Structure 1
Amino acid sequence: MLKKIMSLYENSVLSSVQPTYTFDQYYIFYDKTEKNWLSIPKSNLTENELNLLKVLYEQVKMSSVPPSSLSRKWHEFLLLDGPIPTLSSESNFRFIQFQIKGHGVDPTEIESAIKGFFSDEVQIIWEDDHYGIVIEERRQFSLTESELTSIADTLESDFYVKVSFYIGKLYSASSQLRNHFHQEKEYFEFAKKNLTSTSIITFEKIFPAFVAFNLPDDIKDKVNTELSSIFLEDPELYTTIKVFLENNLNASLTAKKLFIHRNTLQYRIDKFIDKTGVQLKDFYGAFTVFLACLLFEQNK
């Protein structure tokens, strides 16, 4: 099959051994049955063709080795289990992970653009040409969530790509940095699959969904029985309640985001309360209903 696919794309390379080099201009796919690797020039594939090949074969993502000495040390420490770079014990760091969705992404241009938004020098390492990590040493100021949202919007308009960020927490310099990074990487991977409505991810945004996803089945069944059945009957009610909770019970902001009148919003909220007996403006009620919304979303 790979031979047939290779014939469709000029300058493709079929190999019986895994390439030991980094092909910045190629996508590499592995056929487990035939145990062959196929390298296809990135310029020859449309985004739809790439997505189809990802379904059929395992895409081999080969990381680029950073050119600078410090970036290389961070690359080896975080991604290859190498020794920790020499760091001041008084330093604090955070990792800002990012994923780029788009065709013909040039990591060099993206990296240069991202660095331009930071007032202090940062290190950027890449796992592949669509996923990278900004390593920021905390000095005086760090970019806020709203500023990273602006960066995502700017990159989208300048490079015609979609960018999502995971903003990590601040950690002191220690050998535990790698463990912290891999835990945040797990959250980001989960977010990319299950939280597609926002481009900026934080621990507090993803953790409720992460907990809901990992609940035992019997607990999920209890929540679904008590609350989620009403959302099956009225999906519009689910959307209304979830947006209301996500906007801190702010009726004006919720009505604006849903493009409905405040009276319509209040009618739907009252309808939900009448059917469930759960008060949304009570902390415990809001928490329980939000959990039900997350489980309903997962079941969809």
Structure 2
Amino acid sequence: MRIEQLQQMYPSLIFHKDDQNVTISQYEWYTVDGQTVGILKEELKGNEKVLLDSFLSKVKHPQAFSSERERQWYEQLIQGKEHSFTNIRSYRYVYYQIETKLNDFSLFREGIQAVFPFPMPVIQLSDYEGVIIEEIYDEQQSLVNYKEVIELLISDLYINMKLFVSELFEHPEETNDNFEWTKRIAETVMPSANDHVIELTEAVPYLLTNRIEKGYDDRVVRTILKSTLEDQDLLKTVQVYLRSELNVTEAAKKLHMHRNTLQYRIDKFTDVTGLDIKRFSNAFIVKLLFYMMDEKL
């Protein structure tokens, strides 16, 4: 169905523009001939909406963009248009969920941007969820500490929200796959998580409880344990250390090695994964990861 035909059938049809002064929620939005158009809901009678939904590509939330960069990310992740992001060194997704319906996305985005040290694209996925893209341009750039800013976000925006922070991604050609991965993990973890900010390592217990589908658990293990998976001696050392209830002396005896050698291997594991397994909380996460690995064998 062409735009001209729709315009004849529905005089209220409008084209979505960044500076448009309309109430987004009053329209049904579709992609036609590569353009986003809206039709007033009140103009759709009977089964007309059902028919349009079946023939046209529906757009849940057309977005007014604050920058060209934000437009590119929206088109890449939501509309499937290809853009090149080779000018960034790495990136990560911050998937957000809020408890109450978001009535003014523009104000919400302004509140988010006011907290961060530099502009970041914000994509609205629904009235209750969306994604923030943190782009890293050079190795001197500091990552945002979301656990430090979450209380400020909640108090400034007057909403209760949760954030799932993905790992850093380094391959710009995999933006869409990484987005779907982040979205799936976030949707699995967030309903049962108590913390306002959840990172992948903290998500492990929830992923086990909710039995995430095959393939995702393998990626979780590979993402967190990194290159230690290629060092079987190191993994065995860590496993024995964990089974010895973090007692270096006992683990060294079981492995028939010097305490200093054991300590060196534990430090090596920490350096690679970023998990200090001398702390109980991190040791517990690694135990769960080993359990996930054993389940697959």
Q: Choose the corresponding residue for 2:211, options 189, 208, 214.
A: 214
Aligned equivalent of 1:198: 195
Q: Structure 1 residue 185: deviation in Å?
A: 0.5
**Cα distance in 2 between the residues matched to 1:286 and 1:128:** 34
SS of the aligned residue for 2:125 comes to strand
- The residue identity in structure 2 corresponding to 1:161 is I
SS of the aligned residue for 1:175 comes to helix
Q: Choose the corresponding residue for 1:92, options 90, 93, 97.
A: 90
**Cα distance in 2 between the residues matched to 1:126 and 1:215:** 25
**Cα distance in 2 between the residues matched to 1:27 and 1:183:** 32
**Cα distance in 2 between the residues matched to 1:161 and 1:182:** 26
Q: Structure 1 residue 66: deviation in Å?
A: 2.3
CA contact (8 A) 1:99 1:130 kept: yes
Please give the per-residue CA displacement for 1:3-22, whole angstroms capped at 9, x wherever unaligned: xxxxxxxxxxxx99xx8877
Task: Give the number of equivalent residue pairs.
Answer: 182
CA contact (8 A) 2:188 2:212 kept: no
**Cα distance in 2 between the residues matched to 1:130 and 1:96:** 14
From the superposition, tell whether residues 103 and 121 of structure 1 become closer, same or farther in structure 2 (CA, over 3 Å): closer
**Cα distance in 1 between the residues matched to 2:100 and 2:81:** 31
CA contact (8 A) 1:148 1:200 kept: no
Unaligned runs of 5+ in 2: 1-8, 17-21, 29-40, 51-58, 214-245, 247-279, 292-297
From the superposition, tell whether residues 153 and 180 of structure 1 become closer, same or farther in structure 2 (CA, over 3 Å): same
CA contact (8 A) 2:94 2:164 kept: yes
Aligned equivalent of 2:149: 148
Aligned equivalent of 1:135: 133
Identity of aligned residues (%): 17
Q: Structure 1 residue 152: deviation in Å?
A: 3.6
Aligned equivalent of 2:112: 114
TM-score, with normalisation over the residues of structure 2? 0.50
Please give the per-residue CA displacement for 1:230-258, whole angstroms capped at 9, x wherever unaligned: xxxxxxxxxxxxxxxxxxx9xxxxxxxxx
SS of the aligned residue for 2:190 comes to helix
Unaligned runs of 5+ in 1: 1-14, 39-59, 217-248, 250-280, 292-300
From the superposition, tell whether residues 184 and 102 of structure 1 become closer, same or farther in structure 2 (CA, over 3 Å): same
Aligned equivalent of 2:79: 80
Backbone CA RMSD of aligned residues: 3.9
Determine if the alignment matches structure 1 residue 63 to structure 2 residue 58.
Answer: no
